[in-house]
Chain A
Amino acid sequence: MKRLLSTLREHQLTASAYLLCVVLFAVATIHTPGFASGSNVRQLLVFASFIGFAALGETIVVISGGLDLSVPWLMAFGGIQLSHWAGSGGLGGFGAIVAVVSVGAAIGLINGIGVAWVGIPPIVMTLAVGGLVQSYLLYLGLGQAAGAVVPHVARAMATATLGPLPVVAIVWIGAATFVGVFLSRTVIGRRLYAVGASDVVAHLSGVNNKRTRVLAYTVSGAASAFAGIVLVGYIGSTYLDIAAPYLFTAIAAVVVGGASILGGSGSYWGTVAGALTLTVLSAMLPLFSLTDADLKIVYGVAILAGVLLSTSGSTMFGWLRRASNRRRTFKFERENVSASHSKVPLPR
C-alpha cells in the first residue's frame, strides 16, 4: 500500500492526466451513451494516435530541455513526400515509407546539430528549419496536380483494424511501450532527463550533452514524418496545411501530460494521456453543440487550468508534508523546550 502510494506520488501528474481523460469520457458517455460504442472508441483512438505520434518526438525533445516547432512542417513533409515517392515508377508503398521516415530523421538531425553544436536557441533553429521545409513543399506543389496518390500501405495502416483495435492504435501502443521503457530503463533515456534537468550537472556526470540532444531532435524528425504518413493515410489526399493544427496539439499534449516545458521531467505515457484527453475533448464538444471556436477556447482553458492545478497540486502536497512535519516538530518542542521558546516562529 505504501509502495503504491509512493508510486502514485511519483507519477501524480501522469495519473491526474489519465483521471481527467476518464472523467471527460464518463461525462460524454452519460450525456450520449453511444459515445462509448466500439466504433466511436476506435475512431477516437485513431485520432489520438495522430497527436500521439506528433507528440512522441516533442516529448523527448521537451524532456531534454528543448522545443521542436518544426513538427507540423515535418508532418506535412511526411505525407506529401510519401505520395510523390510512392507514385508511378517510384519506390512502392513500403519503401517510400522507410525513405520518408529516414529523411525526416535527417532533417531532425540538422535541427539537433544547430541546437547542440552551433548553439542556436531551439525555438529559432526549429522555426527556421520548419520554414525551409515549408518552402520545399511549396516548390514541390508547383509541378503537381491536386489529389496525389496515397499509397495503399499508408491507407491500410490508418484505416484497417486487427481484431478489435485499429492497426494504427496497435502500432501506437507498441511505440508507447518502447518509448516508455527507453526513457525510464535505458542509459540513453536517463541521460535525456539529466541533460534536460541541468546542462552543467549532466556534463560533469560524464554525459555527452551534445550527442544526447542531437538524438532527441533526430527521433522527433522521424516520429513527425511518420505521424504525417499516418495522417495522410487516413485523410486520403494531401495539401500543404494538412498538419497545421499539430503545432499546437503536439505541445499541448506534452504539457497536459505533465511534462515541464523547462525540461528534465515528464514521460511519454503522460503525453499519451494528454493526446487522449485532447481527442476526447474535441469529440465531446459537438455533443454539447459547441463549435470549433469553442473548442479552441476550451483547449486553452484546459492547458492553463491543467498547468495551474498541477503546480498548485504539488505546492499543496508540499504544504501538507510541511504541515505534518510541523506538527511533529511542535510536539517535539512542547516536550523538550520551555514555553517561552515556543513563541519563536516555527521553522517552515
Chain B
Amino acid sequence: MTTLLAAPSAQVAGVTQRHRRIPWSAATSAAILLILAVIDVILQPALLNLTQIGLLLQTALPLILIATAQTLVVLVRGIDLSVGGIFVVGNALTVTWVGAGGGAHQLLILATIGVTILFGAINGILVTSLRMEPFIATLGTWTIFDGIALKILPTDGGTPPPLLQTLILKSFFGLPSSVLLVALLILGWSLLKTSTFGHRIYAVGADEERARLNGTPVRRIKLAVYVLAGLCAGLAGIYAAGATTTGTPTAGDGYILTSVAAVVIGGTSLLGGRGGVGLTLMAALSLTFIADIVTSVNLGVWVSVAASSGLLLLVVSIQSLIARAAERTRG
C-alpha cells in the first residue's frame, strides 16, 4: 500500500526536477533569439510593425512546424528523418488534389491531413511494433514518401486552393494569421505539456524501462508521438503550399537536417526526456533571423549557412562541455 502511494510522489519529484533544469536552456535560447532580433531590428527598423512580423513568421512557420514534429520525436528518444518526406506529400497533395478539387476544399484538406497522419502512423508502427531503430525506419520511409510526392507532383507547380491563400494572408482581430498560428502552437504545447500525455512523453524519453514499470503504455505513447509528428510535418507542407502559392516536391530534404539543428540549438537533448517545443520555437526563429539579417545586409547565402552551422557548433559544444563538467563534479 505504501509503495502504491509513494509512486505518484516520485513522479512529482521527477517533474519538479525537470522544471528546475529547463530555465538554463530556455535562458540561453531566449538570449540568442533576443540578440539576433535586436540586431535585425537595428538593421531594418521597419521590422517593428505587425505586418512585417507577420511576414517574417510566415516564412518561418514551415520550419517551426517541422522542427516541432522533430522535437516531439526526439523527446521520446527517437529521430524522424521522414519529416521532409511527409512535408512534401502534404505539399504536393494540397496543390494537386485540393487545388483541383473545386468546391470541396475543406474535405480534401482534411483528407490530406489524414494522409500525413497515416504516414506518421506507419513510422510509429515500424518503430514500436516492428522494433526498428528510428533512424533506419525513417530513413526508409523518408525516401518512400519523397518518391510518393514526386509521383503526385513530378515538377514544381500546381495551385493551392484560393481559400487557403486568403486565410494565410488574412488578419484576424488586427493580428496576421501567422502570428495567431504561432500563438496557437504555444498554447497547444503548454496544454499538451501539462497533460497526462505530456508527462508520459517525458517519462518515456527519460527512461523507457522505468516508465513501463510505472504503468505507462510506452508503445502507445510512442505511436501517438509519431502520429503527431506526421500531423505537424503535414501541416507544414500544407502551409508552405499556401504561403508560396505553388508546390515544390523536392523542398523537403533541406528541412530534415535543419529541423534537427533547430531542436539541438534549442537545447532539447537527443537522448530524450529533456527539452520542449518552446525551446525549439525560439531556435527556429533564431535561424530565421540569421537568414533575414544576412539578406538585409546583402551578404551571400554562404554567410547565412556558416552562421547557422557555427551557432549549432557553438551551442552544442558549450552544452557538451557543461554536461561533462557536471559529470566530473558529481562523480
Contact = CB atoms under 8 A, between A and B. Distances in A.
A127 interface: yes
B135 A124 contact: no
Contact of A300 (B143, B309, B313, B323): B143
A292 B150 contact: yes
B206 interface: no
Contact of A135 (B142, B270, B305, B321): B305
Contacts of A128: 261, 309-310, 312-313, 316
B133 interface: yes
Interface stretch (B42-50, B278-286, B295-303): B295-303
Interface in A242-263: 244, 248, 251-252, 255, 261-262
A307 B147 contact: no
A299 to B, nearest CB: 5
A311 B304 CA distance: 43
B7 interface: no
A135 B306 contact: yes
B306 A132 contact: yes
Contact of B136 (A127, A139, A295, A303): A303
Question: How would you classify the secondary structure of chain B's contact residues: helix, strand, loop or mixed?
Answer: helix
Nearest to B254: A244
Contacts of A127: 257, 260-261, 309, 312
B320 interface: yes
A197 B140 CA distance: 24
A248 B82 CA distance: 12
B313 A132 contact: yes
Interface in B134-189: 135-137, 139-148, 150-151, 154
A180 interface: no
Contacts of B79: 123
Interface in B248-267: 253, 257, 260-261, 264
Contacts of B154: 293
B302 A136 contact: yes
Interface string A257-276: 00001100000000000000
Contact of A295 (B147, B261, B303, B310): B147
A294 B147 contact: yes
Nearest to B303: A135
Contacts of A291: 150-151
Nearest to B270: A121
Question: How would you classify the secondary structure of chain A's contact residues: helix, strand, loop or mixed?
Answer: helix
Given A118-B321, A300-B140, A134 B305 contact: yes
B190 interface: no
B256 to A, nearest CB: 9
A138 B141 contact: no
Nearest to A110: B313
Nearest to A122: B270
Interface in A285-333: 291-301, 303-304, 307-308, 311
B311 to A, nearest CB: 9
Interface residues of B, number: 46
Contact of B130 (A125, A138, A294, A308): A308
A298 B317 CA distance: 39
A194 interface: no
Classify chain A: how many residues form its interface, as a range. Answer: 35 or more
A18 B308 CA distance: 42
Contacts of A262: 133
B313 A139 contact: no
A41 interface: no
Nearest to B256: A247
B144 A142 contact: no
A131 interface: yes
A121 B261 CA distance: 12
Interface string B228-256: 00000000000000000000000001000
Max chain B C-beta neighbours (<10 A), residue from A134, A135, A248, A251: A135
A114 interface: yes
Nearest to B301: A138
B226 to A, nearest CB: 15
Contact of B257 (A69, A121, A261, A298): A69
A261 B135 contact: yes
B212 interface: no
A260 B301 CA distance: 37
A136 B302 CA distance: 7
Nearest to B122: A304
A225 to B, nearest CB: 19
A69 B260 CA distance: 12
A300 B136 contact: no
Contacts of B139: 248, 251-252, 255, 303
B309 A296 contact: no
A218 to B, nearest CB: 18
Contact of A301 (B130, B133, B140, B261): B140
A125 B261 CA distance: 10
B201 to A, nearest CB: 20
B144 A135 contact: no
A61 to B, nearest CB: 13
A156 B79 CA distance: 42
Interface of B: 79, 126, 130-133, 135-137, 139-148, 150-151, 154, 253, 257, 260-261, 264, 270, 300-306, 308-310, 312-313, 316-317, 320-321, 323-324
6 contacts: A124-B260, A124-B312, A135-B304, A293-B150, A300-B147, A301-B144
Interface of A: 67, 69, 114, 118-121, 123-125, 127-132, 134-139, 142, 244, 248, 251-252, 255, 261-262, 291-301, 303-304, 307-308, 311
Q: Closest 3 A-B residue pairs measured CB to CB?
A: A131-B309, A296-B147, A300-B144
Given A127-B261, A251-B139, 5 more contacts: A128-B310, A129-B313, A262-B133, A298-B147, A304-B126
